[in-house]
């Protein structure tokens, strides 16, 4: 198959590219990424000779249609998205443009050029949140959408648009909604890599509120294996929840990192909570388990230690991001070509 991976220089997208190259070396992969602040071409450096990379904006209709006409994709997997809740509170507009209008452009191109499967990568945040005192409640695929932030609202809007294209235009779509991802190559503004980087420098660790907000942590490789199953064996028109069955309060995650790095909990700095902060996310992934046979391989204890060790072994990768130097990599690679 020829697969377009949008947002493929970002955290989950790049891990998906590596997963495909390992599991399906016969597939042809094209990576599309605008290389905004969260996209880093250096992440893909070891495999740039095995893929085709295109720097482009999914909102640029003319460029996207030209690419689709030239490449004749079988499958499109859309990871491209603005995804940080705090940034969406500061500037909602860019989230609406990329996450909704960009999705529309990709689906219009998929319709015109006969893509056999369009897969939308979504988030459990479209369901809103669950109360901390009801551990029995889980997000199901049938849970009503109830968003809390401009980010989650933009992703829910995109989901509804994807489902509308399936019903109205018969576009062969699938959607996956995942819980919080962690693992290699995650941008250092997110909780786990941020805490690792700051703890290593003995800087204070900012924790919202009392750190009691609960998330279901999903290792990125488990997420990739689920998406791979969906695009190959999933039922057209279906939504699939992907969860790690690893619920942890944020403060528990932070203390786990500090203990692993032999750092003092005195580094923790409780800060004012962000507006509309969701209390708890918890995924019921029984549908994908029953229908496609998927289950996560990583438990949190093993996955978090592997992740911490990866950041320890790859300081140059995230230190360049913290310094801003990574933004120059594309120009270094492609200037004069």
Q: Active-site residues: which are they?
A: 124-125, 151
pLDDT band with cut points at 50, 70 and 90 for residue 274? confident
Residue 109: the pLDDT is 98
Task: State the average pLDDT over residues 141-157.
Answer: 93
**Residue 222 C-alpha from the chain's centroid:** 12
The alpha carbon torsion through 298, 304, 307, 309 (nearest 10 deg) reads -120
According to DSSP, residue 51 is labeled: S
Q: If pLDDT is split at 50, 70 and 90, which confidence band does 326 have?
A: low
Tokens of 38: 């969260």
Q: DSSP strand E in 157-291: where?
A: 173-178, 180-182, 205-208, 214-219, 239-242, 247-249, 268-271
Tens-place pLDDT, residues 57-83: 999 999 999 999 999 999 999 999 876
Among 5, 6, 10, 77, CA closest to 39 = 10
**191 within 8 A of 256, measured Cβ to Cβ:** no
> Which residue, 74, 20, 28, is CA-closest to 52?
28
pLDDT tens-digit readout, 13-65: 999 999 999 999 999 999 999 998 778 999 999 999 999 999 999 999 999 99
Specify whether the CB–CB gap between 72 and 4 falls below 8 A. no
* Mean pLDDT, rounded, for 316-324: 84
C-alpha to C-alpha distances, 325 to 10, 193, 316, nearest whole angstrom: 16, 18, 11
Q: Is residue 91 very low, low, confident or very high in pLDDT (cuts 50, 70, 90)? A: confident
> How many other CB atoms are found less than 10 A from the CB of residue 285?
27
Average pLDDT over residues 283-294: 98
Count Cβ atoms below 10 Å from residue 148 Cβ, excluding itself.
18
CA geometry: angle 43, 45, 46, nearest 5 deg = 110
Residues 274, 78, 139, 162: is their CA dihedral positive or negative? positive
Inform me whether the pLDDT recorded for 337 exceeds 50: no
Is 321:276 a contact under the CB 8 Å cutoff?
Answer: no
Q: What is the mean pLDDT of the chain?
A: 92
Say if residue 12's pLDDT is above 60.
Answer: yes
Q: What is the pLDDT of residues 239-269, one digit of tens each?
A: 999 999 999 999 999 999 999 999 999 999 9
What's the whole-number mean pLDDT along residues 212-219?
A: 94
Whole-number pLDDT of residue 31: 98
């Amino acid at each position: 198959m020829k697969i377009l991976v949008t947002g493929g220089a970002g955290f989950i997208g790049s891990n998906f590219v590596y997963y495909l190259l390992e599991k399906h070396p016969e597939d042809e992969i094209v990576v599309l990424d605008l290389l905004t602040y969260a996209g880093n071409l250096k992440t893909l450096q070891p495999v740039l000779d095995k893929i085709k990379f295109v720097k482009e904006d999914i909102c640029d209709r003319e460029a996207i249609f030209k690419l689709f006409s030239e490449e004749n994709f079988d499958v499109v997997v859309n990871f491209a998205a603005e995804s940080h809740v705090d940034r969406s509170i500061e500037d909602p507009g860019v989230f609406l443009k990329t996450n909704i209008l960009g999705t529309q452009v990709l689906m219009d191109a998929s319709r015109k050029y006969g893509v056999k499967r369009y897969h939308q990568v979504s988030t459990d945040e479209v369901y809103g949140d669950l109360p901390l005192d009801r551990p029995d409640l889980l997000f199901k695929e049938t849970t009503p959408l109830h968003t809390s932030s401009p980010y989650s609202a933009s992703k829910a809007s995109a989901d509804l648009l994807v489902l509308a294209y399936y019903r109205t235009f018969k576009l062969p779509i699938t959607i996956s909604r995942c819980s919080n991802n962690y693992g290699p190559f995650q941008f250092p503004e997110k909780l786990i890599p941020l805490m690792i980087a700051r703890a290593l420098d003995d800087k204070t660790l900012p924790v919202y509120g009392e750190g009691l907000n609960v998330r279901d942590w999903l290792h990125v490789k488990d997420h990739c294996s689920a998406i791979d199953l969906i695009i190959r064996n999933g039922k057209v028109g279906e939504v699939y929840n992907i969860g790690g069955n690893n619920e942890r309060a944020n403060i528990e995650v932070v203390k786990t990192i500090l203990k692993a790095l032999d750092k003092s909990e005195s580094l923790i700095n409780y800060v004012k909570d962000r507006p509309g902060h969701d209390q708890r996310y918890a995924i019921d992934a029984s549908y994908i388990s029953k229908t496609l046979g998927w289950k996560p391989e990583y438990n949190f204890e093993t996955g978090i230690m592997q992740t911490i060790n990866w950041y320890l072994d790859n300081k140059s990768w995230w230190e360049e991001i913290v310094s801003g130097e990574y933004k120059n990599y594309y120009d270094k690679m492609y200037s004069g070509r």
